[in-house]
Structure 1
Amino acid sequence: MAPGSVGRRGPRWVDLLTVPPASTTVLSAVLWDMDGTIVDTEPYWIGAEIDLATEHGGTWDETLAVELVGNSLETSAELLRERAGIRGTDAEIVDELLFRVIRRVREEGVPWRPGALELLAQLRAADIPCALVTMSWRALADVIVAALPADTFAAVVTGDQVTNGKPHPEPYLRAARELGVDIAACVAIEDSIPGLASAEASGARVLAVPAVQRIDPAPGRSRVDSLSDVDLDVLRRIVAGEVHDHAVQD
């Protein structure tokens, strides 16, 4: 199985690895997804997929593209080959998509999501460590990280560094291990269904900030419509066990 891929038979590991977060009142770290959470790059990925499919004589649309959000890039490449007729190996498709997204970020600037920079600044001022946990590869993560203050992230976990990508819990467990913190004392901020599955299975508390995918309520899952509605106090209450569900998309 390719690095970062997910077994096609379904996530049988969930029952074995999902553990309820331990009771804690101390926020040890915040674990951040990137695309769709910190930066509004999901439209860039969707546009790159549609353009590439068209160039190869295939068909792809935004509805199909939304299904890929949050998955590993290898999984996305496999589905693009099978369903959109894009030719090439998974690695070649991933490289081409990354090239197009990175080029657009560099040409148009980093499209920050509302409230992301402000919340990162609050956490930095409070000396609460943050980790970036993204299924994008290091090449794109480096572009985003370089646009932030140097001490924003104490750890960066990318899709090309893990054996099992989201929705497997490995990325979040690795981030907590690299920070040297208990995963149960962390809040993971996510915008996608696979990302939330990964974070929830790791044992972290979760905060969903929907972007292009609808995120339904679930036990223990906090939701907001914008990070502009989140501050350090909200994160501390979430890690203490409060469900902060203020999404209006329902």
Structure 2
Amino acid sequence: MLEPSPARVAAVLWDMDGTLVDTEPYWMRAEGELVTSWGGTWTHADAIGLVGNGLHASAAVLQSHGVGLSAEEIITILTDRVMDQIAEHVPWRPGARELLAEVRAAGIPTALVTMSVRRMADRIEAALEHELGGPAFDAIVAGDEVEQPKPFPEPYLRAAELLGVDAADCVAIEDSEPGVASAVAAGTTTVAVPFHVPLPADEAYTLLPNGLDGVGLAALAAAHATRLADGAVR
């Protein structure tokens, strides 16, 4: 493990859907199209209930709404449909690319931690590399590469392991309840930026209800230092 100074952020771990890119409407549209093609009904409330979930858990919900396909078939269809929409337009979240660029310029390692499948993560990473003019992430952990998806801690623990740092020395940025739960359980300093689904204030994480627009690296470092000062680490 690398040995950062006590208050230094060793790495920044990024969620993707809803945090870096506003792809949740794309997922919701794909889910609705699939359910209705099987004669079922899919409401906005149904779609909101899947935000941040692992894909296999989401597939099980779609099956309960009448989709007569295997989980893998559902995941493939949804991923293909979302990627078709991304090919037309990548819906970046305000401030996310700017913050990522600042983190990269500071030489701080980064990882993408998403419950989307790897090919979609690679597509977003490629778009980010084009935007930033260089590598966006030092590691990627995707939903089809973990045994226990968010809200379990495995995705964030795996990301820290790939970067060679302790999860407790990392800052994770998340937008959903399952994602925040995963990052907190892994022991990271967690910054919550809710978007489609509100999150309550909680001592377990730093809440930024207005998102990442205008948020810089100093804010991440301050959240990490505050957590250390509160004795929440080790």
Normalising by structure 1, what TM-score?
0.85
Equivalent position of 1:153 in the other structure? 137
The aligned counterpart of 2:119 is 139
Q: Does 1:220 align with 2:201?
A: no
**What is the distance in 1 between the residues matched to 2:81 and 2:174?**
23
Quote the Cα distance in structure 1 between the aligned partners of 2:204 and 2:158.
Answer: 22
Q: In the alignment, is the contact (CA less than 8 A) between 1:187 and 1:235 conserved in 2? A: yes
User: 1:148-227, aligned counterparts within 5 Å?
Assistant: 148-149=128-129, 150-224=134-208, 225-227=210-212
Counting aligned pairs with the same residue, the percent is 52
Gaps of 5+ in 2: 229-234
TM-score (structure 2 length as normaliser): 0.91
Task: Report what 1:98 is aligned to.
Answer: 79
How far, CA to CA, are the matches of 2:120 and 2:43 in structure 1? 23
Which of 21, 37, 42 matches 1:55?
Answer: 37
In 2, distance between residues paired with 1:201 and 1:26?
A: 20
Alignment partners' CA distance in 2, 1:154 and 1:69: 26
Give, in whole Å, the separation in 2 of the partners of 1:211 and 1:198: 17
What are the equivalent positions in structure 2 for 1:24-39 lying under 5 Å apart?
Answer: 24-39=6-21
Alpha-carbon separation, structure 2, partners of 1:121 and 1:229: 13
Between stretches 184-193 and 223-232, larger displacement belongs to 223-232
231, 234, 241: which one pairs with 2:216?
231
Q: Which amino acid aligns with 2:222?
A: R
SS at match of 1:174: helix
**Moved beyond 3 Å, runs of 4+:** none
Structure 1 segments unaligned to the other structure (5+ residues) = 1-22, 244-250
Shift of 1:229: 3.2
> Aligned-pair RMSD on alpha carbons?
1.3
Q: Partner amino acid for 1:193? A: E
Amino acid paired to 2:179: G
Residues 9 and 221 in structure 2, CA contact (< 8 A), matched pair in contact too: yes
Shift of 1:92: 0.4
Residue correspondences, number: 219
Q: 1: CA distance between counterparts of 2:196 and 2:71?
A: 24
Please state how far the C-alpha of 1:220 moved relative to its aligned partner: 3.1
* CA shift digits 1:63-112 (9 cap, x unpaired): 11111111110000011101x111110000010000000001002x2110
2:63 partner letter: R
Task: Return the alpha-carbon distance in structure 2 between the equivalents of residues 182 and 241 of structure 1.
Answer: 18
Task: Determine helix, strand or coil for the equivalent of 1:147.
Answer: helix
- Contact 2:110–2:137 (8 Å) recurs in 1: yes
